[in-house]
Structure 1
Amino acid sequence: MKFTSKAKTVSNPALLIENVCVAYAGKSAINDICLTVQPGEIFGLMGLNGAGKTTLIKSILGLREQDHGQISIFGQNKTSKQSKAQLSYLPEKFEPPWFLTGMEFLRFSLQLYNQKFDKGEMIAAAQALALDTDALNRRMNTYSKGMRQKLGLMGTMLTGCSLFILDEPMSGLDPLARSLVKKMINEMKDKERTIFLSSHILADMDEICDRVALLHEGEILYVGTTDGLKKQTHTDNLEQAFLEFIEHKDAA
């Protein structure tokens, strides 16, 4: 898949989260979160349902203001125009406007980021994700879940942003499509893009992430490589390591 060249070399962290706390109705959702994601890094966020992953992502995006702490993107406050212009987001439940065709949606997505629309590039991107190119001319209410997900990934990645927030990017995808998405993510890394992703498919995270964070009951319990987590827990795969780690912490 071809990407426009918008990313640039910077000295600041791509994403810096400092002592962030968020509470709902007086109950802590995430507590004292500190994370640093470097430019060009593939960083994974792991956690059970209800661990606080969605709250943290909403805080990064500015959809939920933190009660304490700071979040910056490439050295700029997350609320600044400069930081927002460098960030593109794929939500967990991607539901595109049903009345648009796939091609119309892609044109709209690129216009939001002042990116040139090239129909040939859109077709090539669809082929790279094994999306039927004829479907790009159909309204999206005819799309399957997997087709919508592929289109959402295209609309996110083709913006040329420096930082991508991907919430469950493999949702609804078959094994072939998952393989192609992982290839696409690695291609972005090669082009110095930064990827912050959340996924329940831990085998995929083990394969592509440079580092991961384990979020449990609103707190970060581990930050490091997947190999480091497996070594600490004396396990052979990331899923086993994840479960062993949180069970040990819960029992402590």
Structure 2
Amino acid sequence: MIEARDLRKEYGGFAAVEGSTFSVEAGEVFGVIGPNGAGKTTTLKMLAGLIEPTSGSVSVAGYEAGETEMRYQLGFLPEESPLYEEMTARTYLHFFADLYDVPEDTAARRIHETLDELDLEHRDRQIGDMSKGMKRKVAIARSLINDPDVLIYDEPASGLDPLTTNYIIEFTSRLAEEGKTIVFSAHNLFHVESICDRVAIMSEGEIVAKGDLEQLQEEHGETTYHVYTTVEVPDSVAKNGRYHRAVETMAEVESIRESAQQAGGSVADIRTKESSLEEVFLNVAEDGRETRRRRRQGAEPEPEA
């Protein structure tokens, strides 16, 4: 549904995005995450055809990014979405329906159903008098007015209160269940983790890791085993009537088991903790910065042993 190949965008000789290659399948939710300045918004704008790549190519729903036909297949939500504040929500959405040549009766039904789903009651209030959360819902409804197959959302819940944020994330998840292909960025990695099928991690303009959460965990995360014994073993700490020690390998777990048995006790419990997406992201971003620092200094990273 989306194909990006060797995307590069320069501004005055500075590469805001460099060498980005990825694909998004139909019906998939694809997250793009990274620190501020990583190139996320520039990447999403290139996908949406709003800015032209310096080099590389993008296709969306079989069309080159920026083609008129592609725009009818796409709904785009920027992080900052200025609205026509003198209009009401209903009038505003009808205006955009006209721009997309949506028949009047279809537009009226679609607007009503979408605003119902978004739980927006004040449809005839001027947008300028609405709260930030209500305005964001209107902007989301605008992105759906042409019933697009592909949605590109840049920080859809940016700056909203927790209740509205959760509502919008749940709404985005429902859109995916309805078969929409969704690419979105977010700083709240818990939300990304909860609804994304795959994720690309960007750092300083480059995609430094991508895959599903299990792949990212396996390649870049860490697993910690919290072992609780009935007797004290080396390096353990007394905790709630038992003894606790955290280790990183099953061989160490087995060593603790043997030590407990030799001391006349046993392993009472083993709890496994895997890295969260946030922890994986921090590991990957730091590794990426170190690799590029060495590259700028003309030194290649030392090979792993």
- Length-normalised TM-score, structure 2: 0.73
Residue 193, structure 1, aligned to residue 180, structure 2: yes
1:125 is matched with which residue?
114
Q: Which runs of structure 2 are paired with 1:98-137 in the superposition (5 Å)? A: 98-115=85-102, 116-118=106-108, 121-131=110-120, 133=121, 135-137=122-124
**Equivalent pair of 1:16/1:35 in contact (CA under 8 Å):** yes
Structure 1 vs Structure 2: percent identity of aligned residues? 31
Aligned to 2:81: 94
Pick from 227, 238, 249 the counterpart of residue 277 of structure 2: 238
**2:152 aligned to which of 165, 179, 200:** 165
Q: Distance in 1 between matches of 2:167 and 2:145?
A: 15
Structure 2: distance between partners of 1:126 and 1:175: 20
Match of 2:6 in 1: 19
1:1-252 to 2 correspondence within 5 Å?
Answer: 14-115=1-102, 116-118=106-108, 121-131=110-120, 133=121, 135-231=122-218, 232-234=220-222, 235-252=274-291
Number of residue-to-residue matches in the alignment: 236
Q: Distance in 2 between the 1:251 and 1:62 partners?
A: 32
Give the Cα separation in 1 of the matches to 2:52 and 2:288. 29
Whether the 8 Å contact between 1:149 and 1:171 is mirrored in structure 2 is: no
Segment drifting more, 223-232 vs 50-59 = 223-232
In 2: Cα distance, 1:113 partner to 1:87 partner = 11
Give deviations 1:173-206, integer Å, cap 9, x for gaps: 3333333323322222222211110111111010
Shift of 1:32: 1.1
* Structure with max Cα Rg: 2
Task: Give the TM-score normalised by the residue count of structure 1.
Answer: 0.87
SS of 1:242's equivalent? helix
Aligned-residue CA RMSD (Å):
1.7
Give distance in 1, aligned partners of 2:149 and 2:201.
Answer: 24
Higher RCO, 1 vs 2 (CA within 8 Å, ≥6 residues apart)? 1
The 4+ residue runs of structure 1 with deviation greater than 4 A are none
Structure 2 unaligned blocks of 5 or more: 223-273, 292-305
CA–CA separation in structure 2 for the residues paired with 1:153 and 1:24: 30
| Deviation per residue, 1:106-165 (Å, 9 max, x gap) | 11222222332226x53443343333x1x2111111111111111111111242001111
After superposition, the Cα gap between the structure-2 partners of 1:251 and 1:69, relative to the gap in structure 1 and judged at 3 Å, is: closer
- 2:5–2:58 Cα contact (<8 Å) kept: yes
Structure 2 CA distance for partners of 1:175 and 1:124, relative to 1, 3 Å: farther
Between the aligned partners of 2:141 and 2:127, the Cα distance in structure 1 is 14
Does the 8 Å contact 1:59/1:65 carry over to 2? yes
Unpaired runs of 5+ in structure 1?
Answer: 1-13
